[in-house]
């Protein structure tokens, strides 16, 4: 009976997932995605608008990235030890909702200590930036590592990742729709008015994201880890096991560079179209919207494909080539031809989807059936992503301040 039960569990893990299971999983990262979109698109603008220097604003973001990076390591290790993916996800989501509203809600330490100096503002925003990213990392690592425990079917794993990426695009588009509505109905005249604009964007984004978190928590079953299946011997996989794999370093490099390209470009895109290309104010919403619409369409298309490791490499290479050509076009694009940026945005959107879906899916192929150590894999790779993005943005913003 035990053998039959184990065989039945394993067969159910190999079968392709239904669309409802894919949907419930896919919406689980919406809160993280919509707050992340606001974070990378508007945080630097918000902080500089309220008086911080570009270098101080970059320091606030860097503090969050460092906290995020180290939390991914600890979260991955603890998830591997104790499981309970949904509890980690729920706790991280609560922390995200509370701290994110505090970042855009004003400098709380400034009110406590009765001073509004730039130094105190930088410290205050940095503290809540770190808290926000701790919660963000816990929700991210738990959500990403669930893929390997939900199913052993390689194609279903890519479908889950593709659905998640599609809802990432939905989250980004939702943010820009919210921002467009707020900026259209509110005309700021003072710094307080500017703060209120970003505060409303943050609050509405949090409410929308939390609705999808509830759908995820009620619709997705807690996945069963390998050691919980009857008849299976369990021996926890150590860190050293992954570090001996050449594939681990290859996937780590691919994932880190992909995140570096997408996150840094998102953070600096608004500055580029306004300051360098001197496009209209609407462009800082229209250009990102085009990128995310194209990414959403491609992500949906990728869900309908059958996937192998070879096909992942081919599609990632195609996305990389598109991004190289897009980057080269951006470098040589003159201000007089700035409308071409809308066409470049289409190729960037396609490239982003191809690269993100395939690079995250490569992590699933790396883990394979070794799901007893999947948490630390996602945690360690996210560590590289956060540190590299934080340093890159700090250097670029420090240069901007010169």
Separation between Cα atoms, residue 274 and residue 282, nearest integer Å = 9
Three-class SS state of 222: coil
Joined tokens for residue 273:
């179209």
Separation between Cα atoms, residue 304 and residue 284, nearest integer Å = 32
Joined tokens for residue 342:
């809308």
Residue 57: CB atoms within 10 Å: 26
Separation between Cα atoms, residue 3 and residue 346, nearest integer Å = 52
What confidence score (pLDDT) does residue 282 get? 66
Going residue by residue through the chain, which has 402 residues, state the pLDDT in tens, using 9 for 90 and above. 333 334 444 444 566 677 888 899 989 889 999 998 888 777 877 888 777 888 888 888 888 888 888 888 888 778 777 778 899 999 999 999 988 887 887 777 777 777 777 788 888 888 888 999 899 989 988 888 888 778 777 778 788 888 888 888 889 888 888 887 887 777 766 767 777 888 888 899 999 999 999 999 998 888 765 544 444 445 566 667 777 788 888 888 888 889 888 888 877 787 788 777 877 766 777 788 888 888 888 888 887 777 777 888 899 999 999 999 988 988 888 887 888 888 998 999 999 989 988 888 887 777 766 666 666 777 777 778 778 887 887 787 776 655
Joined tokens for residue 330:
């951006």
Joined tokens for residue 37:
């979109």
User: Cα separations (Å) of 383 from 66, 232, 256, 290, 392?
Assistant: 8, 31, 9, 29, 14
In the DSSP assignment, the letter for residue 190 is: S
Q: Is the dihedral of CA 374, 292, 265, 58 positive or negative?
A: negative
What confidence score (pLDDT) does residue 259 get? 86
Joined tokens for residue 113:
């200590």
Q: Tell me the domains of the chain and their CATH numbers.
A: 19-221+240-400 (1.20.1250.20)
Joined tokens for residue 367:
């883990």
What confidence score (pLDDT) does residue 229 get? 45
CB 258 within 8 A of CB 356: yes
CA dihedral 260, 261, 266, 271 (to 10 degrees): 100
What confidence score (pLDDT) does residue 213 get? 93
In angstroms, how far apart are the furthest CA atoms of the chain? 74
User: Cα separations (Å) of 312 from 155, 158, 360, 365?
Assistant: 11, 9, 10, 10
What confidence score (pLDDT) does residue 6 get? 40
Separation between Cα atoms, residue 161 and residue 367, nearest integer Å = 14
CB 362 within 8 A of CB 354: no
Q: 98: exposed, middle or buried (C-beta count within 10 Å: 0-12, 13-18, 19+)?
A: middle
Kindly report the pTM of this predicted structure: 0.74
DSSP assignment of 301-370, as one string? HHTTS---HHHHHHHHHHHHHHHHHHHHHHHH--GGGTTHHHHHHHHHHHHHHHHHHHHHHHHHHHHTT-
Joined tokens for residue 148:
């390997």
């Amino acid at each position: 009976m035990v053998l039959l039960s184990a065989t039945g569990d394993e067969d159910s893990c190999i079968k392709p997932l239904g669309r409802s299971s894919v949907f419930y999983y896919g919406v689980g990262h919406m809160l993280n995605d919509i707050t992340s979109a606001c974070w990378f698109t508007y945080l630097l603008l918000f902080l500089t608008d309220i008086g911080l220097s570009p270098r101080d604003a970059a320091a606030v973001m860097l503090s969050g990235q460092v906290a995020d990076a180290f939390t991914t390591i600890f979260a991955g290790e603890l998830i591997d030890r104790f499981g309970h993916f949904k509890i980690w996800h729920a706790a991280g989501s609560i922390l995200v909702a509370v701290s994110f509203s505090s970042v855009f809600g004003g400098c709380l330490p400034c009110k406590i200590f009765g001073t509004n100096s730039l130094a105190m503002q930088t410290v205050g925003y940095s503290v809540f930036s770190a808290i926000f990213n701790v919660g963000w990392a816990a929700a991210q690592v738990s959500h990403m590592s669930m893929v390997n425990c939900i199913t052993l079917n390689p194609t279903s794993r890519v479908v889950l990742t593709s659905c998640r990426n599609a809802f990432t695009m939905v989250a980004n588009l939702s943010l820009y729709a919210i921002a467009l509505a707020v900026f259209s109905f509110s005309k700021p005249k003072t710094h307080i008015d500017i703060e209120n604009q970003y505060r409303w964007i943050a609050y509405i984004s949090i409410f929308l994201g939390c609705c999808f978190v509830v759908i995820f928590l009620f619709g997705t079953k807690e996945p069963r880890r390998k050691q919980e299946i009857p008849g299976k011997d369990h021996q926890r996989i150590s860190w050293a096991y992954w570090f001996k794999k050449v594939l681990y370093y290859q996937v780590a490099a691919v994932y880190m560079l992909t995140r570096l390209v997408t996150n840094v470009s998102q953070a600096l895109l608004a500055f580029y179209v306004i300051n360098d290309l001197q496009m209209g104010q609407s462009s800082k919403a229209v250009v990102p919207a085009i990128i995310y619409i194209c990414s959403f369409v491609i992500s949906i298309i990728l869900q309908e494909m059958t996937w192998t490791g070879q096909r992942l490499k081919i599609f990632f290479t195609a996305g990389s080539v598109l991004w190289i050509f897009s980057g080269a076009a951006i470098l040589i694009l003159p201000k007089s031809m700035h409308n071409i940026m809308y066409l470049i945005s289409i190729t960037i959107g396609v490239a982003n989807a191809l690269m993100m879906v395939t690079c995250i899916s490569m992590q699933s192929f790396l883990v394979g059936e070794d799901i007893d150590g999947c948490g630390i894999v996602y945690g360690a790779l996210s560590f590289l992503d956060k540190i590299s993005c934080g340093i890159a943005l700090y250097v670029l913003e420090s240069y901007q301040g010169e």
